[in-house]
Amino acid sequence: MRKIFNIKDFRLCQRGVCNSNMDGRDIVVVMPTGGGKSLTYQLPAVLTPGVTLVISPLISLISDQIMHLQDAGVEAVKLTGSTPKGEQDSINARLGSMANTSGRGSSNGGKDIKLLYCTPEKIAKSKRFVSLLQKLSDADRLARIVIDEAHCVSQLGHDFRPDYQKLHVLRQLFPNVPIMALSATCPPLVLQDLLKVLRLKATVPGEDADRTGTVYFTAPLYRPNLHYQVLPKASEGTKVYAQMVAWILREHADDSGIVYCLSKKDTEKVAAELATRGKIRTGVYHADRSDREKDKLHRDWHRGDVKVVCATIAFGLGIDKGDVRFVIHHSISKSLDGFYQESGRAGRDGKDSDCVLFYRAQDASTLSSMTMGDKDGGVKLNAMLEFAQNLTECRKIQFANYFSHTTNLSMTSWSTSDASARAPCGHCDNCTRTSEAYVDKDVTLEAWQLLRIIEKAQKTGGNVTLAKVAELARSSGKAIGGTARKGKGKHGGAKEQVTVDLDAVCGGKVNLKKEEIEILPGDRIGMAVVSSE
């Protein structure tokens, strides 16, 4: 462990998981992001004969794992759709040679592949690959199957992947090969669905496991080295970039970090602005980047040639870079589960790190339209908004309440005990904020007025943005609220102005500042009817 992985001691439940792996058990592991899940299968893979198959959802995660393992001298390879044909042929030949050398105790001159990474799509779509795995299994050379981000198998999970559900064939094809499922967030309902899909037996606790069940390990999700804060995001794009540059240069001028963005376009723009305004060495990662560009970015980032990666959520799951000192969210995430996982990329080495969300109400309407078709998308987004707009309660306690409520888990799943889970962290933005920094105000009347304005504008066919609502609500008498197309034809006729008589609709203008008005619709009021800008 020290020689290959440069790790001196086990953390959390790593020792128990490794021992269960060596014992050939089916295992489910729920550990926090950055808790060291990878070691729990990589160490047994090195110590036992045969190849360990690792199924992972993202090319970025696979590439990162392969890079670190190969640098450590471990025989690790990947077979994905992006693997060059010549490399695929070479890997298949090596696996075929292993399959022809029967017995788990056999070796191939020390050149056996120890870890084979692939995506779930490879299992679902490549009959040749599955046939090769069957030959390895028949020769007793398939040591174990590891399914990373296993919550993706369930439609109840926050990141469902259809091809993950097709992994039910694994138990049927390989009845004698141990299966290990890993996740950072796996609520009880998702866990039961996971066991059903993967054809695993009921779980038994790791500390008192019998010989019949699936061994279940979990570790507290709370990480005290992460410091959370939500910062007000400027309404104008140029000011947002200036905000981010100023914060990075002030807090982490020479540190590695990640900036998560909502879209591919945003990643490109944010990276360009950080580089231009702050002379920050940035890189871009999203689905449209070529595999060569992605691999180069991984190398450059790990070497320090690139300091900040601007990326969509396609980047970062399981990224093994310990010295990420900050994670910034340029916009809110679709769910608090996703935000927890993404922000958890910071501080994997245990050192203090910052997790910052730049929030403005307009982003809520954008996310609302994106999650409208998702199962429970609105509920999950509401929880994210409550987190972003809460100015008083400790972020640690907010996470604890969310995970215990939405997952029916005890507080010990978040911290070591109920008492410690309820104790404020003392270092998040809300814990360090003074009571003079905010004002409590009853805005029941103003919220009702805004709902009436939005309702009226929608009935007239207007496409009303948050900015337009704020502008309209603070006007007097009749005011322009948007535009509507009237008439027939390809384009619906000519544009006409939409007006709302504030006196008749809601008793007059709304007595709030523009930024205060924009917060109210973002706080779930009219999210379904306010269009994104």
| pLDDT string in tens for the chain (533-residue length) | 777 877 888 888 899 999 999 999 999 998 887 778 899 999 999 999 999 999 998 877 888 889 889 988 999 999 987 788 999 999 999 999 999 876 554 444 458 999 999 999 999 888 999 999 999 999 999 999 999 988 888 766 556 778 888 899 999 999 999 999 998 877 777 888 899 999 999 998 877 667 789 999 988 778 899 999 999 998 777 899 999 999 999 999 999 999 999 899 999 999 999 999 999 999 999 888 887 888 888 889 988 999 999 999 867 554 668 899 999 999 999 888 889 889 988 998 889 999 999 998 778 777 776 666 666 777 888 889 999 989 899 999 998 888 775 543 444 455 555 567 678 999 999 999 987 777 777 888 888 888 888 888 777 765 666 667 777 788 754 555 455 555 555 555 555 566 778 888 888 888 888 777 766 655 544 444 444 44
Q: If DSSP codes are grouped into helix, strand and coil, which group holds residue 398?
A: helix
**Full 3-state SS string of 173-200:** HCCCCCEEEEECCCCHHHHHHHHHHCCC
CA atoms of 285 and 63, how far apart (whole Å):
13
Using alpha carbons, list the distances in angstroms from residue 515 to 59, 120, 528.
Answer: 40, 45, 20
The pLDDT score that the predictor gives to residue 363 is 82
CB-CB contact of 220 with 414 (8 Å)? yes
CA atoms of 342 and 354, how far apart (whole Å):
12
The pLDDT score that the predictor gives to residue 109 is 47
CB-CB contact of 319 with 283 (8 Å)? no
CA atoms of 17 and 15, how far apart (whole Å):
6
The pLDDT score that the predictor gives to residue 409 is 45
Q: If DSSP codes are grouped into helix, strand and coil, which group holds residue 469?
A: helix
CA atoms of 330 and 332, how far apart (whole Å):
7
Give me the DSSP letters along 444-468: HHHHHHHHHHHHHHHHTT---BHHH
Using alpha carbons, list the distances in angstroms from residue 38 to 69, 115, 184, 436, 528.
Answer: 11, 12, 12, 45, 41
CA atoms of 478 and 481, how far apart (whole Å):
9
The pLDDT score that the predictor gives to residue 113 is 95
Residues acting as catalytic residues: 37
Cβ-count burial 174-186 (b if 16+ within 10 Å, e if not): beebbbbbbbbbb
Q: What sign has the CA pseudo-torsion 188, 189, 194, 195?
A: positive
CA atoms of 241 and 219, how far apart (whole Å):
38
Helices in 279-350 by DSSP H: which ranges? Answer: 291-303, 336-343
**428 — phi, psi (to 5°)?**
-80, 175
Instruction: Quote the DSSP letter at residue 531.
Output: B
The pLDDT score that the predictor gives to residue 276 is 95
Using alpha carbons, list the distances in angstroms from residue 253 to 172, 280, 298, 347, 358.
Answer: 53, 8, 20, 16, 18
Contacts of 442 (CB under 8 A, 6+ apart): none
| Dihedral, CA of residue 295, residue 299, residue 300 and residue 302, to nearest 10 | 130
